[in-house]
Chain A
Amino acid sequence: MSHKSSADNIFKILVAVVAASALIILSVTGYTLLNGSLPVLERFGIHFFTGTQWNPVEGKEVFGALPYLLGTLATSAIALLIGVPLSFGIAIFLVEMAPRAVRVPISYIIDILAAVPSVIYGLWGLFVLRFWILDYIETPLSTYLGWIPTFSGTPYGLDVFTAGIILAIMIIPTISSVSREVIRAVPNSIREGAYSIGATRWEVIRNWVLSYGRSGLFGAVILGLGRAIGETMAVTMVIGNTVGPAAIPTSLFKGSQTMSSLIANGFLEATPASLELPAYIGVGLLLLLLSLSINLIAEIMVSRVLKVKGGAIE
């Protein structure tokens, strides 16, 4: 027996164990969440996922997680609406148009933005950004367009809109750095071929480069969405933290809560012997299910719908 094969075997086993541990962690997490939330699921059944009241007071307990699911979806949607065009714009600019002297420092700065801890974003949002948004965006929108239901209500700066903007700022570095790699991987032959038949620069980017890298770009967006859904501290500082039916985000200027912020807010003080702790674990289970389904949809989209041939990153 040569030395090489025993080392190889050990290496194979180690790597297999590490790979299996990812599966084990996911299963254990799912089982723990399910187990921990059984009391509240038994008591309320499907109403836990469809109800809107949230009352932990002893004797009046009723738990419904729907408003927080809607809050999570609303803030993530706003984050994507604002963040994705900006990210793609940054990526296109850096790859297609910027001279090297501009590209290197800006790429570096954007990567640093990703490294800023989310609590810092939350604090900055709470003490600085919120007032800018209130004075320059929300108050004018509310004065002139307040008759539209999405802009109704008195704005205070602590609402779904501000939370969405902070999330957009946080996901821009993630999406733009992955998109940059995707766009860079588009072979130059594609671009040359497009220019040679007379396409303008914008047409080349839109019709050839972006569509060639579409599954990779979609993957970048899903990465950003994953971060937006899970973000806790930054969101809880600026979202207004209302509870119950008041948390349903009917207007951009209303306070709400996301599933993560609800758990972060209530978990530590929940009395162990009450139904409240299982309720938070149940919300955690809902959050896990949401993340898994988004990833599943993304996987299906990438492998069936957006399939591209050639050397594109997927």
Chain B
Amino acid sequence: MGEKRKMSNQQKGKINNRIIIVIAAAIVVVAGIFGYMYLSPQTSKTPETLTGSGATFPYPLLDTMIKQYQTQKTNVLINYQSIGSGGGISALEGKTVDFAASDAPLGAADMAKAPNSLHIPETIGAVTLAYSLPNIPAGLHLTGKVIADIFSGNVTMWNDPEIQALNSNVTLPAKSILVVHRSDGSGTTFIFTGYLTLSSIAWKSAIGQGKTVAWPVGIGANGNTGVASVVQGTQDTIGYVELAYALQNKMTVAAIQNPAGNWILPTLNSIQIAVQSAASGGLPAGSGDWSGVNLLNAPDSQAYPIVSFTYLLVYKELNVIPGMTQTKATSLVQFLWWVVHDGQQNAPALAYVQLPANVVQIDEASIKSITFNGQQLPTS
């Protein structure tokens, strides 16, 4: 190792001073660079960046659509953060994003905090009931009322007469049902509990609808993936998962009775039929109140009963968002137009359902109504 050369105190002092001066100079230089970048005007060479945040359910589809759109339009960068519907709505209310995504429509309180915002359904989700019973194939018959009883703990055994009565062709085991629900707040829970609220008066008064509810029984798993893994990994379980996860994990799902009396399995087709028939009953305009919209129990004879939209939320007059420019607003409108038209082709491969024509029409009207400084924006 050897002896260190002893420095005099004066030399040490000089070196210390030099170090401090170098650090201070470095800070000044870095601050100067950032200041320059921040204050200098955007040149047309830098791409427009649109930011959005919100729901995790449509994230796989949105991500694919964004990537495809960016290869076509190289001067636009779109950044979507799937932090949850609640986070997206907060960001919309705080005007920190250009658009938000939410699985549930805005309630009255949030509508007041985000005035003059538009709901634009961009895709469709469905909730399936997946179960894991030995020797019982897919297509177990269940009704909304029975499902409500199972999830509220009123029916605890698989061979309960209520369930057995609907399924005379199979013998159900004398085992207790393990209910699996979501531990995190989610739009899937919102749709599912909405369906149960419609199907059972007991559920409506005791528990109701929400992104998180006070589940009386069962264990909670995190995310659709968590529920799928717990249901598949344990016997005698039943849980609710989004269609995409049920299809991708090849889960055994129940056939649910719709208002027409038929037992319908959740397929891309039965869901699209449901949306089409429910939407033909009338949907609000984009600027209206969507909190009462539901696609549950659609009237068609082949419709799957537990279906819902997921929404993109955007302000009608875009100049309320700080930093918005004419070119950014035009890019946003064109992106939204593409999402509801060509972008929909990405849906089936990812097990999402395409918007039917009547919903696309309503979206077109909403997108055309978006303005910047009062001026309408071109959609292509």
Residue positions of A touching B, CB distance < 8 A: 2-4, 6-7, 10-11, 53-60, 126-127, 131, 154, 156-158, 236-237, 240-244, 246, 255, 257, 261, 264-274, 276-277
Contact = CB atoms under 8 A, between A and B. Distances in A.
22 contacts: A3-B13, A4-B9, A6-B13, A7-B17, A56-B185, A56-B212, A58-B208, A127-B229, A127-B233, A237-B222, A241-B219, A255-B220, A268-B184, A269-B86, A269-B184, A269-B211, A271-B85, A271-B110, A273-B107, A273-B113, A274-B109, A277-B86
Nearest to B197: A57
Interface string B1-40: 0000000011011101100100000000000000000000
Contacts of B184: 264-266, 268-269
Given A2-B10, A268-B185, A274-B109, A54 B214 contact: yes
B17 A154 contact: no
Closest 7 CB pairs of A and B: A269-B185, A3-B13, A241-B220, A268-B84, A241-B183, A273-B109, A7-B16
B226 interface: yes
A272 B20 contact: no
User: Chain B contact residues (Cβ within 8 angstroms of A): what range?
Assistant: 35 or more
Interface string B209-239: 1111111111111100010011001100000
Interface of B: 9-10, 12-14, 16-17, 20, 83-87, 89-90, 93, 107, 109-110, 112-113, 176, 178, 183-187, 207-222, 226, 229-230, 233-234
Contact of A241 (B178, B209, B222): B222
Contacts of B20: 7, 10
Contacts of B183: 236, 241, 257, 261, 265
Contacts of B209: 57
A60 B213 CA distance: 10
Nearest to B193: A57
Contact of A156 (B14, B226, B234): B234
A57 B214 contact: yes
B178 A56 contact: no
A58 B13 contact: no
Given A268-B86, A269-B184, A158 B208 contact: no
Which among A6, A156, A240, A268 has the highest number of chain B CB atoms within 10 Å? A268
Contacts of B16: 3-4, 7, 11
Contacts of A257: 183
A241 B221 contact: yes
Contacts of B221: 158, 241
B211 A268 contact: no
Contacts of A268: 83-84, 86-87, 184-185
Contacts of A271: 85-86, 89, 107, 109-110, 211
A85 B118 CA distance: 60
Which among B10, B209, B213 has the highest number of chain A CB atoms within 10 Å? B213
A23 B289 CA distance: 47
Given A241-B219, A261-B183, A274-B109, 6 more contacts: A2-B9, A4-B9, A57-B210, A58-B210, A131-B233, A267-B86
Contacts of B218: 242
Given A7-B13, A57-B207, A272 B113 contact: yes
Contact of A57 (B13, B176, B213, B219): B213
A240 to B, nearest CB: 4
Which among A6, A158, A261 has the highest number of chain B CB atoms within 10 Å? A158
Nearest to A14: B20
